[in-house]
Structure 1
Amino acid sequence: MAQFKDFNFKLVVIEQLMYIDETLIPQFSLAGLLREQGLGNDPWEYAHQHGLDYKVVPEARSHFESLEISDELLATVEELCMDGGNQVYQECAPVWDGEDDLFDIASLDDLALLPNLRRVLGSEFLGPELRNALSARGIAAD
């Protein structure tokens, strides 16, 4: 199984596979996890009451960090979308407005895990160095 170095890059990949392509199943739901653990029904309320505004809820981080993604599934990824409205971000940080660097990608070392990646939408959220790294690999940075 693939080992990601950048948690935020992994989240973008999960967004594509779990919430867009729906091939990485079951879909994670923070609300469902909280209910299962007897921690309430409302992720926003849970985060707010536990001082997790604008932070990743630990239960979500733990789930996504330990989530294994097969090489075969990673090979199906041809496009990624970096957008503050991604579902995976809402599942991680229900009280987050997209106005900070909480989900910024710091490294593209994990590109090697996606042999068929051809396009990254929202690449303007990456710095020039990272956009150049995409271009150097022949990946369209839109």
Structure 2
Amino acid sequence: MDKSGMFQDFNFKLVVIEALLDLEPHFLQELNDLKNKYVDDFEWYVGAGPIAEIRDYLEKLRLEADDLAKIEQLIFDGGHEIYHILKPDWDGEDELFDVESVEGFQHLKNLKTVDYISMCNPKVLGPFEKAGIEIR
């Protein structure tokens, strides 16, 4: 469970956060400040795990209902920016960010479609299908 209590799986929360990055969410400035502080100069970082300060921030982040209402589409893909904010040298070759549960998707009142490329077993997406959300 992520520390905000909104989602059962923190990695699913990352997919939701990724969907918000281009939609001007309330938290964007804070995340950009953390990115500027820890990611932009990550020579020190190579080979380390996720940046603890950014992970802690994202785990505790309570997403606001008006931001969540902006989401009409989720994309499950290993190329998301949020993964490289958390772990700048992540190459997508491990299961670090794989999603095991989408529980909490009910907060996404306007979600219409889910594009599946990778990052989970397709069975994980079953609750979307049961809720009438199109999976492509």
- Interval containing the TM-score (normalised by the shorter chain): 0.7 to 0.9
Which runs of structure 2 are paired with 1:117-132 in the superposition (5 Å)? 117-132=111-126
Residue segments in structure 1 that go unaligned for 5+ positions in a row: 36-40
Q: Determine if the alignment matches structure 1 residue 6 to structure 2 residue 4.
A: no
Residue segments in structure 2 that go unaligned for 5+ positions in a row: none
Q: Determine if the alignment matches structure 1 residue 95 to structure 2 residue 89.
A: yes
Equivalent residue of 2:45, what SS? helix
Equivalent residue of 1:109, what SS? coil
Determine the structure 1 residue equivalent to 2:101: 107
CA distance in 2, matches of 1:118, 1:21: 16
Equivalent residue of 1:120, what SS? strand
Q: Name the % identity.
A: 35
Does the CA-based 8 Å contact 1:8-1:105 persist in structure 2?
yes
State the one-letter code of the partner of 1:23: P
State the one-letter code of the partner of 1:70: E
CA gap 1:27/1:101 in 2 versus in 1, 3 angstroms: same
CA gap 1:116/1:108 in 2 versus in 1, 3 angstroms: same
Q: CA RMSD in A?
A: 2.2
Aligned residues: 131
Equivalent residue of 1:80, what SS? strand
Q: Give the helix-richer structure, 1 or 2.
A: 1
Higher-Rg structure is 1
Does the CA-based 8 Å contact 2:102-2:125 persist in structure 1?
no
Equivalent residue of 1:121, what SS? strand
CA gap 1:59/1:46 in 2 versus in 1, 3 angstroms: farther
CA gap 1:129/1:31 in 2 versus in 1, 3 angstroms: closer
CA distance in 1, matches of 2:77, 2:97: 10
State the one-letter code of the partner of 1:10: K
TM-score, length-scaled by structure 1: 0.79
CA distance in 1, matches of 2:129, 2:118: 13
